[in-house]
Amino acid sequence: MLFQSLKVVAFGITVLLCLSGCSSREYFSNASNASTPMNYESSAKINNSPNMHRATMRPYTIDGKTYAPTMVSVGDSFSGVASWYGKDFHGKKTSNGEIYNMNDMTAAHKTFPMNTMLKVTNLKNAKSVVVRVNDRGPFVGTRIIDLSYLAATRLDLVANGTGPVGLEVIGFAGVVSPASAPKQSVEVSDYCVQIGAFRSKDGAYKFAQSNTHLNNRYNAIVKESSLDNQPIYRVWLKGFGSDAEASDFIAKGQFKGAFIVKE
């Protein structure tokens, strides 16, 4: 995955992001019983690869069910029921901001990253097509993919409306990878948010425990390391599905100076 260094300013407050391993400066009290987290400044690297549209990497809820983008790799395969959508959506915006064209070879998937390339095979007649994910859905029953009208036509699925299919991930960023290419992945998990840093171990654990109300969604953990040749205890929240979800959490302003880290 391709990373570029960027400075991020969010909605009138400075949100400073960093990946683990990047340099940072942290300002704090040396009091042994300190239970107030330090303030910090840090630099950041933000994923800006072509297939990572920040808005479309956020978890979303449809009819009371929450969906989060997943990690997929070239060669991964899935099976299930496919459906298709056509003229009722033609000319309308897809989830990634494109205009839906029923005569393009595209598809909607609930969790695959945008611009994932898929080989779709009709399991009844062995016909196959290649489509690019540019939309979210379907949200009916257990269907796993919504095909464009053209893709469904080439698979002979239009008349029946649905049919059993196999899916194989064959590329990312709108590009089909050759069979001999190394295995690739799109990773959108393992993101954390640092909400505090302490010289006092007890202070760190008390602060983590004081935020147990977040444990229904995120886990508060304490990470021990060193800074300026002294122990430091950082409090992280785990359980964010993507950097976009973590950024949305930070922007709420609940923890001053919070920033993203990645295990």
Does residue 194 share a domain with residue 165? no
Does residue 70 share a domain with residue 45? no
**Residue 56: inside a domain:** no
Does residue 235 share a domain with residue 208? yes
Task: Write out the chain's pLDDT in tens, 263 residues.
Answer: 333 333 333 333 333 333 333 323 232 323 333 444 433 222 222 233 333 444 466 777 888 887 877 778 899 999 999 999 999 999 999 988 899 999 999 999 998 888 899 999 999 999 999 999 999 999 988 899 999 999 999 999 999 999 999 999 999 877 888 777 777 776 545 678 899 999 999 999 899 888 766 655 677 888 888 777 888 898 988 877 667 778 888 888 889 888 888 66
The whole-angstrom separation of Cα 133 and Cα 167 is 12
Report yes or no on whether pTM surpasses 0.75. Answer: no
Does residue 160 share a domain with residue 193? no
Please list the alpha-helical segments (H only) found in 165-260: 201-210, 243-251
Total domains in the fold of the chain: 2
CATH code of 197's domain: 3.30.70.1070
The whole-angstrom separation of Cα 68 and Cα 85 is 22
The whole-angstrom separation of Cα 187 and Cα 124 is 32
CATH code of 128's domain: 2.40.40.10
For residues 244 and 55, the answer to whether their CB atoms sit within 8 Å is yes
Query: Residue 166 is part of which domain span?
Result: 61-186
Structure tokens at 45: 């690297």
Q: Which of 186, 201, 236 is the last residue of a domain?
A: 186
Using CA of residue 42, residue 48, residue 54, residue 56, what is the dihedral sign?
A: negative
| Cα dihedral: 55, 96, 49, 247 (round 10) | 0
